[in-house]
Amino acid sequence: MGDRRDSALRISQALRDLLAEAGPAQQGMAARLGIGKTDAQALQHLASAGRPIGTVELAHLLGIRSASAASLVDRLEAAGHVRRQAHTSDRRRVTLTVSETAQGAVHAALRPMLTDLATLIERLTEEQAATVADFLDRSLTLLRSHRDPAAGSRPQPVQARSPRIPGAGERTGQEPDHADRDEAG
């Protein structure tokens, strides 16, 4: 049973490490492209959408305001990374697509990492590859299910302590006490 628990802990730690490295890796790609991290995230959303999307939808995906997304799109368009096109059925709307130039730049920036990942994957047996793919698919589904704070269980509110008068030599509560704070504090 200990081996199974050790494996579970190794997998959990590896997932945490992988998730922690995603931000710096994305920042590195953005730096190689000469753009900001949010701009790189926007390109990623646009490229992976599989269809043209609008500025408001992009803002929603990035978690930013529509006005900020409009400025971001202006920057990306000026740099030649994004094209605006009239919506196919609603001429009042504009859709966004990643330019061929940006697609090439992103592929060039990602190529070394993708080559290394392909080499790593090639070392797996078919059974191992299927197991890893299934695990990652299920992990992604689980992560997506926890995007919305209302989806998971909410932490219980902290119960207020009843007031008491300190005795001789006890703390008055006026001094800072870092030991009483919880780990998140």
- H helices present in 34-157, as ranges: 37-48, 55-62, 66-78, 100-122, 126-145
Q: What distance in Å separates the CA atoms of residue 151 and residue 48, rounded to the nearest whole number?
A: 25
Task: Enumerate the β-bridge partners of residue 83.
Answer: 97
pLDDT for the residue 174? 42
Least confident of 73-82, 109-118, 119-128, 149-158: 149-158
pLDDT for the residue 176? 39
Q: What distance in Å separates the CA atoms of residue 42 and residue 59, rounded to the nearest whole number?
A: 9
Phi/psi of residue 38, each to 5°?
A: -65, -35
Model confidence at 164, pLDDT cuts 50, 70, 90, reads very low
Q: What percent of the chain has pLDDT over 70?
A: 79
**Interval 39-66: pLDDT, tens:** 999 998 998 888 889 999 999 999 999 9
Q: What distance in Å separates the CA atoms of residue 135 and residue 133, rounded to the nearest whole number?
A: 5
This prediction's pTM: 0.65
